[in-house]
Structure 1
Amino acid sequence: MHRSISAVCALIILLLSHVSIVRADEATLYKPYASVLTNFVLTDGRVDYASLKQKRSELDSFLKSLASFSPKELETFNRNAQIAFWINAYNAITLGEIINHYPIKPNLVTSLLYPKKSIRQIDNVWDADDHSVAGRKLSLNDIEHRILRQEFKKPEIHVALVCAARSCPPLRNEPYYGDLLEEQFRAQAKEFVESGRGFSAEPERGVVYVSKIFEWFGDDFVTDYAGNPKLKGYSTKNAATLAFLLEYLDEDTQQFIFEKKPNVEYLDYDWTLNDL
């Protein structure tokens, strides 16, 4: 009996210690957003946009909090907490844009190029600089390219930013938090790879396929991931991409890459909305 009580107490302490990792200011700021993700995002990353549109008050509350958030307070966040802040802002604004236009009406021109049910049908969705965040008017492209990519230079953001397409990495059903960020990035990368959206291999053809995200942004990984001697012979971008992915591949696939030096090709990108 005594041992059982001790075990329960130890478990409670462990759980509480994990919760305490999240800064109080982050927990407060992200509380409504956390509720949105818990209630409307499935474990596979798909989103119940129809229900979210009907019950959008918490998302709207979070977007208003982003608009009124003090730039000076954001400066008190450590580097990872600031990265988490901007990832959450990007993903939440994207959710808002989708439900503002849901159900999405196809554009005559873009529907010839992209699925009719796609964020690609929303005019100017990434370039409109009418989103207020921490005292700044920004577009989604500003957040991704000017802030996250240029200022922070953290390539792992590419497994966390979700552009509402099926080929995107999955949307987590929890916010990103500064002190959990590295752990969350690893979980995201693992799920992205194992889902087949981030990586697949055909040893019989001597080919590995990686997400088109690595064609677009593979150079972002060079500084942190290039230089693995087992990947000599690949372009710098492909070597960095494979080095990033290796941690999430089984040993047989790793050996296949090291020994056979398969060609790297890019998976087709499915822009269909990540809806139910």
Structure 2
Amino acid sequence: MCLLFLFFSWFGYSQSIDNSNLRDFLKKHVSIEGFVNYEKLVRNKEDLQIIVDGFSKVTPNSSWSLNELKAYWINVYNINVLKLLSGYYPLKSIKYIDEPFKVEFINVNGIMVSLEYLETVIIKEMGDPRMYFALNNTCVSSPKLNRAPYIAESIDSELENSAKNFVNDTSKNYFSKTADEATLSPLFEWHSSEFIGDYELISFINKYSETKKISTTTKISYSSFDWNLNKENF
């Protein structure tokens, strides 16, 4: 049976998610700027494992709203990235791990899946490219890691903020003074097939950019991705 079919077609009762442990953990290990204290993270691997296990015991089903699914999968992705890296730290980059995004270590309803599967199948199925700017893969060029869990009740405003913050981050995206040239994060290139319709790329950039607006005549290129750890001791 297709795993995606299992996730979205299984009928059952909605399960409430207690994000209190995740909320406390993120506040203790992530700075306001989004830097992760990996040394402290490794020291508290048991607490991290408890949170990971808690998510694996919750099974999304057809009674869940789209907002509940979005919040759940973002949180699952982000906490499992930290889980994966904590098993190999110290290292300078997640890329020092052999094919880190293809490792099937995430337990979802008894089936082991990879970060790549979450991102390219399950999250893609949500049809909301704003979600990619809420996913943190520990790297300098990745979106900022939120200090609080994503929750269904406010997921839309949270995703709006994530997209807005990323587009306006000058370390990720550059726009020339006349906006005739733009150098964008490779995230936009990697997910180019999903920037269509209501989320067409130019419209998406212009919706969230607080400075420059681009057009069909703007020469767009993509920067390289810095895979070094986005870390800070604090």
Deviation at 1:122, TM superposition (A): 0.5
For residue 204 of structure 1, report the CA deviation from its aligned partner.
5.9
User: Which residue is equivalent to 1:57?
Assistant: 46
Which residue of 125, 129, 133 corresponds with 2:108? 133
Q: Deviations over 1:164-214 (max 9, x none)?
A: 110001010011111211101111112212222442212368311111101
Aligned-partner Cα distance in 1 for 2:178–2:196: 29
Q: Report the CA distance shift for 1:202/1:95 in structure 2 as closer, same or farther (over 3 A).
A: same
Larger Cα-atom Rg: 1
Tell me the amino acid that sits aligned with residue 231 of structure 2.
Answer: D
Q: Measured at CA, do residues 183 and 141 of structure 1 come closer, stay the same or move farther in structure 2, by a change above 3 Å?
A: same
The C-alpha deviation readout for 1:221-256, integer Å capped at 9, x for no partner, is 21322xxxxxxxxxxxxxx222112122235x12xx
Would the aligned equivalents of 2:140 and 2:229 in 1 still touch at CA under 8 Å? Answer: yes
* Contact 2:130 2:162 (C-alpha < 8 Å) held by counterparts: no
User: TM-score with structure 1 length normalisation?
Assistant: 0.74
1:124-273 to 2 correspondence within 5 Å?
124-149=99-124, 151-203=125-177, 206-225=180-199, 240-250=200-210, 253-254=212-213, 257-258=214-215, 261-273=217-229
8 Å CA contact 1:66, 1:134 repeated in 2: no
Q: 1:184 to 1:205 in 2, by over 3 A?
A: closer
Which residue of structure 1 aligns with residue 69 of structure 2? 82
How far, CA to CA, are the matches of 1:148 and 1:86 in structure 2? 7
Q: In 2, distance between residues paired with 1:156 and 1:103?
A: 31
* Runs of 4+ with >6 A deviation: none
C-alpha contact (below 8 Å) 1:159/1:192 kept by paired residues: yes
Distance 1:208 1:44 in 2: 25
Structure 2: which 5+ runs fail to align?
A: 1-13
CA contact 1:80–1:179 (8 Å) conserved in 2: yes
Q: Sequence identity of aligned pairs in percent? A: 26
- Normalized per residue, the structure richer in helix is 1
Question: CA contact under 8 A between 2:168 and 2:210: conserved in structure 1?
Answer: no
In 2, Cα distance between the equivalents of 1:180 and 1:208? Answer: 31
1:135 CA drift (Å): 3.2
CA RMSD of aligned residues (A): 2.1
Count, aligned residues: 219
Look up the match of 2:97: 122
Instruction: Tell me if the contact between 1:169 and 1:192 (Cα under 8 Å) persists in the aligned partners.
Output: yes
Unaligned ranges ≥5, structure 1: 1-22, 105-116, 226-239
